[in-house]
Chains A and B, each alone.
Chain A
Amino acid sequence: MDKSANNMRIAVLSGKGGTGKTLIAVNLAVAAKDSTYIDCDVEEPNGHLFLKPEVVQEEEITVKIPAVDEQLCMGCRTCTYFCRFNALAYINDKLKIFADVCHCCGGCVLLCPVEALSDIDKVIGKIQKGAKDNINVNTGILDFGVESGVPIIKKLLSEYVPDSKDLTLIDCPPGSACIVMESIKDVDYCILVAEPTVFGVHNLNMVYELVKLFDKPHGVVLNKCLEGENPAEKFCIEKGIKILGRIPFDHELGTINSNARIAVRESEGYQKLFAGLLQKVTEEVHQHEAVTHPQR
């Protein structure tokens, strides 16, 4: 599939929260003018605060958990022995199910010899579909107390990426756990956002290891750049990681951002910076395509 003529998927990720993932994803979405922004940071989605979409559709996301018919259960405990997360216990001749511990594998329902267990839906959150100014904004929202947002991200990336747009920006959750893996596994390119501190380097290394493991083309945006030495920049040079751009530690940018406004729309300088970054990432993706599909 030729990505240049189709939907190019770019993920923005970082090893910790607050590095500037949303800042970059939102500004790139606006710089592209015609794009889709997907908020996979389902525990704290905040891209919508900047893009202010009109929500046109809301879908509840459910997972399957077991329910027991006590009339049928004969207390054989096949299910309790099977469950590696111990989501079922058998007490006083009654099966007790711990829905919060269940990982929704469905094994207990399959194995029950008397069909006393069945699947029921449990709501874990929702997806809001919206748009504003030619930008589609689709947001995953995980309910409080729910262990994993992975099912919401699966749904977002399989059903909420419209073919009508050339570019999709995926705002990832922080870190490098399962939920981030799910967010990046089908993307064409990963933008890693890094802070200019020793701690920032540690976090950058986490996501750097992840994108290498997934064999994803990637580059780094150095955010909050100050005068003097930048440990994250040094790390990139040492490891031979492409530096895509630098965003200064700037009072004006901080003010715009903290008022939930978008720098690309407010400042000519930032319009140029993010348009340049977008251009660079697009070139990187095409270059990678040319390398992996030389026949094109």
Chain B
Amino acid sequence: MKIAIPVDKPNLAAGVNQNFGRTPYFLIYDTETKEDVFIDNSAAASQGGAGIKAAQSIVDNNAEAVLTPLCGENAAGVLNAAGIKIYKTVRDALVMDMINAFMEGKLAILEDIHPGYHGQVGK
């Protein structure tokens, strides 16, 4: 199963980024093969609708789940339409810790989808 995570840096020691739409990179991680691919988030510089564009690239990379601390309603709209599940991570977590937590079934579904942009309204 392929999962997508917003990350600060393009390596496995990176932290999870707080901002789904405008994160600099996404890690696409295959939980079976352990293969990791880092992609540039071209949505980061968008004038608007960054969450939509970022979610589109997650869809296009065939991820089946997203691990993120926050997610806006527009991004969630795209992910839901594609049937991608969104799991809530801890803030300031390391990406490998969250992948392990996910594989052990310890991450809950992200329920509090925030309105507005840039995670400003998020908790």
Interface residues of A (CB under 8 A from B): 80, 83-87, 89-92, 94, 96, 98, 100-101, 103
Contact = CB atoms under 8 A, between A and B. Distances in A.
Interface residues of B, number: 17
A101 B81 contact: no
Q: Per DSSP, are chain B's interface residues mostly helix, strand or loop, or mixed?
A: helix
A271 to B, nearest CB: 45
8 contacts: A84-B46, A84-B47, A84-B48, A85-B46, A87-B49, A89-B53, A89-B78, A91-B81
A80 B48 contact: no
Interface in B60-113: 74, 77-78, 81-83
B43 interface: yes
Given A84-B46, A86-B49, A87-B52, A98 B81 contact: no
A101 B56 contact: no
B53 to A, nearest CB: 4
A96 B53 CA distance: 12
Interface of B: 43, 46-50, 52-53, 55-56, 59, 74, 77-78, 81-83
A89 B48 contact: no
Given A98-B74, A101-B48, A101-B74, A86 B53 contact: yes
B56 A89 contact: yes
Given A86-B43, A89-B56, A96 B49 contact: no
Given A86-B56, A89-B56, 11 more contacts: A84-B47, A84-B48, A85-B48, A86-B46, A86-B50, A86-B52, A90-B56, A91-B59, A92-B83, A96-B81, A103-B48
A86 B59 CA distance: 15
Contacts of B48: 84-86, 101, 103
Contacts of A98: 49, 52, 74, 77
Nearest to A92: B82
Contacts of B47: 84-85
A126 B47 CA distance: 28
A94 B80 CA distance: 13
Contact of B52 (A92, A101, A103): A101
B50 to A, nearest CB: 7
